[in-house]
Amino acid sequence: MIILHDEDTLLHETVELLGSKLIPAFESPSRIKAIVQSINHSGKHDLRTITASAADQTSAVELAKATHSTGYLSHIQHVFKQWLDEGLVEEHGSVLPECFRLHNTANSKLKPPKDTFARPGYYAFDMSSGISQHSWRAIIASANLAVQAAHLLLPTSPTSASATNGDETEAKSVLALCRPPGHHCSGQQAGGYCYINNIALAITTFRHFSPPAQKTRRTSNPHFSSTSRLKFAILDLDFHHGNGTQELFYGDPNVLYVSIHGEDEFPYYTGAASETGPPAPDPAHGTNLNLPLATGSSFDEYLRKLHVALQAVRDFKADYLLVSLGFDTFHLDPLGKFDIRTENYKVMGWQVRSALRDIPGVIALEGGYVVDRLGENLLNFLEGWEI
Ligand code: Q9C
Ligand code: ZN
């Protein structure tokens, strides 16, 4: 597997509340360090450590504007320095929100507060979205990894890994070691450790940089015109529902979002099976599939949902697959509640890949918080994938 990593992703280091105690965030730089160490030790994969150039960073920000508002991006970039200058945070501290935007009949068009201290609450939906001194660099490096992974799969890219391996049915895939993760974040609210939706940037990259011939594709479906836009299927395997990704593509008939996640868990307000896209006859009806799974579920129960998910992805006939890969489904995870073991990830990887072998895919890392088991869990998933 081609695996992309950028050391700048280690620069983001923040805190969160555990009950009423402020602790170092579970989403920590040590996660990526542990994964990289395991990959190196295995000697098995094509690990490419890259550094986003100034041009890459500019390009990632431009691509991010298709997903996030400029006010939001500017806030994430500058808020730490503004807090520092106003004495609201110490050099090694974190910016955290206080008062979230609230439903309000009198003023439906809420503007960001003028008060520097109040602004983080406008641009976040929870308190697991702190911003430290160098967070922005890590956030952009993380997004750039997803962008570069997409570039490697584009048919015309000079650095292309090429769409296939020579064998027509064997499409390439690239894993991006994204950190911070992305699937909880949509237009202009950080949350759940996410700031930029990395998967969405990969999709924007495919759309923006595909050669004209691929931008529109022929379809055999007589109900649509002879050409349609590129189609994408997102398979979200993180323990948590990817509310941000769902929100971004809910009305998009060319993007299928499928998620298996803990029922009634964070982020609490989304992820129900009833969320199937806009009502018919909207063309996006049916392009959202939530498969909530009871907490405590076994791997057998998980596999049953996975088969439903994979069948939906197959039926959608996407041009590209995006996998939001989280290891917080692990039985020991502090934030997850499924009974999934290390060896199960090999089966999981094999199941996904054997069902979707013909679709080129970007795999982006999301959650997973048992740091000293992350490496082996990921290696098992990849081993299954590459059988
Ligand atoms: N303070 C991902 O797995 N809640 N995000 C933490 C402890 C946030 C999970 C509760 C969980 C976010 C990408
Ligand atoms: Zn998660």
pLDDT score, position 35: 99
How far apart CA 171 and CA 165 sit, in angstroms, is 6
Strand, helix or coil at 87?
coil
Nearest residue (by CA) to ligand 1, atom 7, is 18
Q: Is 192 in the pocket of ligand 1 (CB under 6 A)?
A: yes
Q: What are phi and psi of 168, to 5 degrees?
A: -55, -30
Ligand 1: nearest atom to the Cα of 367: 3
Amino acid 108: pLDDT? 83
- As beta bridge partners, residue 46 has 2
In the structure, how many helices (H) and strands (E) does the chain have? 11, 12
For residue 238, give the ligand 1 atom closest to its CA: 3
Catalytic residue among 5, 183, 184, 261: 184
Q: Is 252 in the pocket of ligand 1 (CB under 6 A)?
A: no
CA distance 369 to 330: 9
In the numeric block, which tokens belong to residue 342? 């290390």
The phi and psi torsions of 382 (rounded to 5 degrees) equal -70, -35
Q: What distance in angstroms lies between residue 368's CA and the mean position of ligand 1's atoms?
A: 10
Residue 321's nearest CA partner among 273, 278, 357, 285 is 357
Q: What is the pLDDT of residue 178?
A: 99
Question: pLDDT below 50 — which residues of the chain?
Answer: 157, 222-227
227 CA distance to ligand 2 middle (Å) = 37
**Which residue has 């990632």 as its token pair?**
60
Q: Give the ligand at the shortest distance from the Cα of 266.
A: 1
Pick the residue whose CA is nearest to atom 2 on ligand 1: 367
Mutate to test the pocket of ligand 1, among 266, 324, 330 (most ligand atoms within 8 A of CB): 266
pLDDT, tens digit (0-9, with 9 covering 90-100), for 233-288: 999 999 999 999 999 999 999 999 999 999 999 999 999 999 999 999 999 999 99
Cis? peptide before 267, omega within 30° of 0: yes
What CA–CA distances, in Å, run from 366 to 48, 73, 269?
A: 19, 20, 19
Q: Which residue's CA is minimally distant from atom 10 of ligand 1?
A: 18
What gap in Å lies between CA 310 and CA 69, rounded to an integer? 33
Tokens read off for 17: 């509340």
Distance of CA 105 to the CA centre of its chain: 33
In this structure, are residues 338 and 331 in contact, taking their beta carbons and an 8 Å threshold?
A: yes
Topology, domain 2-385 = Arginase; Chain A (3.40.800)
ipTM comes to: 0.98
Question: Is the distance from CB of 217 to CB of 229 less than 8 angstroms?
Answer: yes
Token output for 76:
């994430």
User: Could you tell me the distance, in angstroms and rounded to a whole number, from the CA of residue 332 to the centre of ligand 1?
Assistant: 15
Q: Which of 111, 138, 119 is nearest to 32 (CA)?
A: 138
pLDDT given at position 213: 78
Is 41 annotated in the active site?
no
CA pair distance 173, 353, nearest whole angstrom: 10
- Residue nearest to ligand 1 atom 3, measured at CA: 367
Query: What is the residue extent of each domain of the chain?
Result: 2-385
